[in-house]
């Protein structure tokens, strides 16, 4: 006889991931997405070499780090709720924004059985949080520039980078561009360090 056991994805016995039992006092929590990626998840209820033991799931990791926090397996319904709030279809783009998510404990019914699970109540883009996030990258750029890097027009400064990027303030750039600037400056820093050591 075919087995018909049911285990809701967020009621999983896998305690490495956030479940309804983890929310303090069962109250709604607002968290900030750090990364949203596909990762391999091991199901502790499956034994041996069963192919169901390892599965690729969408995993959310959080900026916040209280003692109870864990990554969250994001099922289709929760992913849909997040996308409806922020309209970012590519999960790998989330780390380039500041996305807030309110999660709650909800009850679902499956075959007349009530089960508790996590549900996304709402999701939104936090513009103030995005500025803070951008500033951290700008601070990294400032630290790199302490090495007195030289460009075609002399020493590279925050002002010269903004001018070449055609913005008044580096905060006007998106995070992907800021990451690109950091990568280029690190390459230049390494190259100049090698030249100075010759």
Query: Mind giving me the DSSP string for 73-85?
Result: E--HHHHHHHHHH
How deeply is 195 buried, as exposed, middle or buried, from its count of CB atoms within 10 A (0-12, 13-18, 19+)? exposed
What band does 16 get if pLDDT is binned at 50, 70 and 90? Answer: confident
Q: Which residue has the higher pLDDT, 115 or 138?
A: 138
- Over residues 169-174, mean pLDDT: 96
Q: Across all residues in the chain, what is the average pLDDT?
A: 89
* Contact criterion met (CB below 8 Å) for 37 and 22: no
Q: Where are the domains of the chain?
A: 9-125, 130-196
Q: Report how far residue 78's alpha carbon sits from residue 129's, in angstroms, rounded to the nearest whole number.
A: 22
What band does 13 get if pLDDT is binned at 50, 70 and 90? Answer: low
Query: So what's the pLDDT on residue 198?
Result: 66
Tell me which residue of 15, 132, 121 sits closest to 69, measured CA to CA.
15
Write the CB contacts of 184 (distance below 8 Å, at least 6 apart in sequence): none
Q: Measure Cα distances from 61 to 18, 85, 100, 186 in Å.
A: 10, 18, 12, 27
Q: Each residue of 141-160: pLDDT tens digit?
A: 999 999 999 988 889 999 99
Reported in sequence order, the residue ranges of 43-128 that DSSP labels E, i.e. its strands, are 54-62, 72-73, 99-110, 113-125
Q: Which residue has the higher pLDDT, 41 or 3?
A: 41
Q: Kindly give the interhelix angle for 127-145 and 175-196, rounded to the nearest 10 degrees.
A: 10
Query: So what's the pLDDT on residue 110?
Result: 72
Query: So what's the pLDDT on residue 160?
Result: 95
Kindly tell me the sign of the dihedral angle through the C-alpha atoms of 97, 28, 64, 158: positive
Q: Each residue of 19-67: pLDDT tens digit?
A: 888 999 889 999 999 999 999 988 877 777 777 788 899 999 999 999 9
Query: So what's the pLDDT on residue 2?
Result: 45
What band does 94 get if pLDDT is binned at 50, 70 and 90? Answer: very high
Q: Report how far residue 195's alpha carbon sits from residue 190's, in angstroms, rounded to the nearest whole number.
A: 9
Q: Which residue has the higher pLDDT, 93 or 49?
A: 93
Residue 48: left if φ>0, alpha if ψ -120 to 50, beta else—which one?
left
Whether 8 shows a pLDDT value over 70: the answer reads no
Residue 111: left if φ>0, alpha if ψ -120 to 50, beta else—which one?
left
Q: Each residue of 175-194: pLDDT tens digit?
A: 999 999 999 999 999 998 88
């Amino acid at each position: 006889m075919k087995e018909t056991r049911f285990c809701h994805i967020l009621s999983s016995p896998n305690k490495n991931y956030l479940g309804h039992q983890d929310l303090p006092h069962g109250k709604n929590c607002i968290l900030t997405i750090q990364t949203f990626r596909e990762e391999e998840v091991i199901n502790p209820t499956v034994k041996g070499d069963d192919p169901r033991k390892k599965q690729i799931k969408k995993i959310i990791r959080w900026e916040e780090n209280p003692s109870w926090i864990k990554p969250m397996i994001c099922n289709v319904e929760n992913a849909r709720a997040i996308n409806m709030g922020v309209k970012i279809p590519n999960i790998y783009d989330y780390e380039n924004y500041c996305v807030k998510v309110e999660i709650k404990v909800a009850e679902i019914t499956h075959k007349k059985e009530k089960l508790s699970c996590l549900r996304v109540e709402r999701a939104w883009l936090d513009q103030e949080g995005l500025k803070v996030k951008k500033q951290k990258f700008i601070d990294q750029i400032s630290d790199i520039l302490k090495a007195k890097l030289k460009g075609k027009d002399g020493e590279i400064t925050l002002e010269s980078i903004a001018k070449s990027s055609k913005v008044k303030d580096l905060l006007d750039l998106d995070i992907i561009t800021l990451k690109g600037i950091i990568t280029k400056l690190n390459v230049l820093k390494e190259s100049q360090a090698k030249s100075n050591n010759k």
